[in-house]
Amino acid sequence: MRTRNRVFGLGAALALVTALAPPALAANPIVTSYYTADPAPLVVGNTLYVYAGRDEAPPGDTNFRMREWRVLSSTDAATWTDHGARANIATFPWAGADAWASEVEPRGGKYYWYTSVNGNGAGWMDIGVAVGDSPLGPFRDAKGGPLISDSTPNSSGLNIDPTVFTDDDGQAYLYWGGYWGARAAKLKPDMIELDGPVVTPQGLANFWEAPWMFKRNGLYYMVYAANDTNGCVTSSSHACQRYATATSPLGPWTHRGVVLDQVSSTTNHAGVVQFNGQWYIVYHNADAPGGGDFRRSVAVDLLHFNADGTMRKVTQTTTGPPPNPGTNPGTGTNLAPSAAASTSYVSAWESLAALNNGGTPANSADRSNLAYGNWPERGTQWVEYTWPTAKSVNRVSTYWFDDDQGIDLPASCQVQYWTGSAYAPVPGQSACGVAGNTSNSTTFTAVSTTRLRLSITSKPDFSTGVLEWQAFQA
Ligand code: FUB
């Protein structure tokens, strides 16, 4: 255990540790190396997360083969980092198959992952809840059994496709359903129990499955899959996305029309989110090479509203949306996710992956998205990003780690770059800030380099650490 002010006599062996960042992906579909379905977007800080199932059906199979839920993230809605599977059927010991559509809802610093999963009890699909302390987990079963099952009074004919919405007053609502049976219920503040009866929402015309709820300018919106041939699809084996609005969260709903036409897969499942001031629709299709109805792929496109609050029909693209890094200080095109991180030293129980995993710390002691620390080393240590090709960089942002034990805020820092033959301070750099509980931005004259280094000098008797280090494209 580390203790502040304790003197440690360990040597300062220099260890080079390299953690390869996950691959960055771009354009639609946003992943083509495997198949993804049923996307659910979530914005946390300056990061857009997408939670999605994985289609594992071999070519020609006509069943869903789905065993895990995966996470992708982006800081510009155009370039994606794959965080792999973060939950699977085994997350729910009472379940046995069918990792279908899911959605994550934050509350009280925790992240609740509502999933469609085939329980081992009577009936078919259930809704389970996993919980984690960060958007990337780790996630564990939050309830020990289904939140919704066929034995839930007034449940849907197919208990799938949860969407959870939390209103401004803190009341959370669960909507779900398939086989034309939309259902809704309030959730208790613990997010794992219903607070009152299951109701049948009114006005969701031609509802088939896949509800997604959000609020904009005081108006509630429900986007959902429909499969009628009355302006929706050419054949009822396909689906479009219709939407309805309401002035209260449980309706009644007023149908407004089709927002997303049928896609290249028979199923059509979407989520809507605002990120960096722009609205997006995240959905799936069958457009990846070798794709099909059971080999689907997630896509992202722009979503536009008219002045009266109605939505314009989405233009489905293969390019995806343009990069939207935002305009707030601390945002921009962050090149860190595409870099490999290395360091002079990392403590065995801490992680270099913290540097560029897209975490948005709540404070300098928040290690919910991992923390890099170099205890028991003192003096000057460094962390570094390496890119396979030269990048033009003119700003970094550093969120320092302070565990109130052996790791403290540094005494000073300096940003350096590889000139091709040596490390040199980046030219014209502004003060390298060492404040806690905030992002410290350092600007400099743009350099073109394959390696950017943050040299960190500790206070006497302390080591140093970093929660997130961003490097921005010039
Ligand atoms: O992915 C399995 C099921 O297909 C989902 O739960 C539905 O929404 C449909 O996309």
Interior angle at CA 454, CA 450 and CA 455, nearest 5: 125
C-alpha 229, offset from chain centre: 34
| Ligand 1, atom 9, residue with closest C-alpha | 267
Give pLDDT, residue 12: 34
Give the Cα separation of 242 and 443 in Å (integer): 46
Give the Cα separation of 400 and 156 in Å (integer): 48
Start-to-end Cα distance in the chain: 42
| Ligand 1, atom 1, residue with closest C-alpha | 100
C-alpha distances in angstroms, 264 versus 238, 257, 293?
9, 20, 8
CA atoms within 13 A on the CB side of 440: 23
Give pLDDT, residue 316: 98
Give pLDDT, residue 280: 96
The SS3 call for residue 378 is coil
pLDDT under 70: residue ranges of the chain: 1-26, 326-332
Chain segment 298-351, per-residue pLDDT in tens: 999 999 999 899 999 999 999 999 888 765 444 467 899 889 999 999 999 999
- Identify whether the C-beta of residue 223 lies closer than 8 Å to the C-beta of residue 237: no
Give pLDDT, residue 25: 63
Chain segment 31-71, per-residue pLDDT in tens: 999 999 999 999 987 789 999 999 999 999 999 999 999 99
Ligand 1 center to 255 CA (angstroms) = 22
Atom from ligand 1 closest to the CA of residue 116: 6
Give pLDDT, residue 440: 77
Ligand 1 center to 207 CA (angstroms) = 14
Task: List pocket residues of ligand 1, CB cut-off 6 Å.
Answer: 37-38, 53, 64, 100-101, 116, 160-161, 209-210, 267, 269
Write down all domains in the chain, each with its CATH number in brackets: 13-302 (2.115.10.20), 336-473 (2.60.120.260)
Give the Cα separation of 294 and 305 in Å (integer): 31
Ligand 1 center to 294 CA (angstroms) = 10
Listed in sequence order, the residues at least 6 apart from 97 whose beta carbon sits closer than 8 Å to its beta carbon are 67, 89, 117, 118
Give the Cα separation of 176 and 161 in Å (integer): 5
Ligand 1 center to 297 CA (angstroms) = 12
Atom from ligand 1 closest to the CA of residue 225: 8
| Ligand 1, atom 2, residue with closest C-alpha | 100
Ligand 1 center to 37 CA (angstroms) = 7
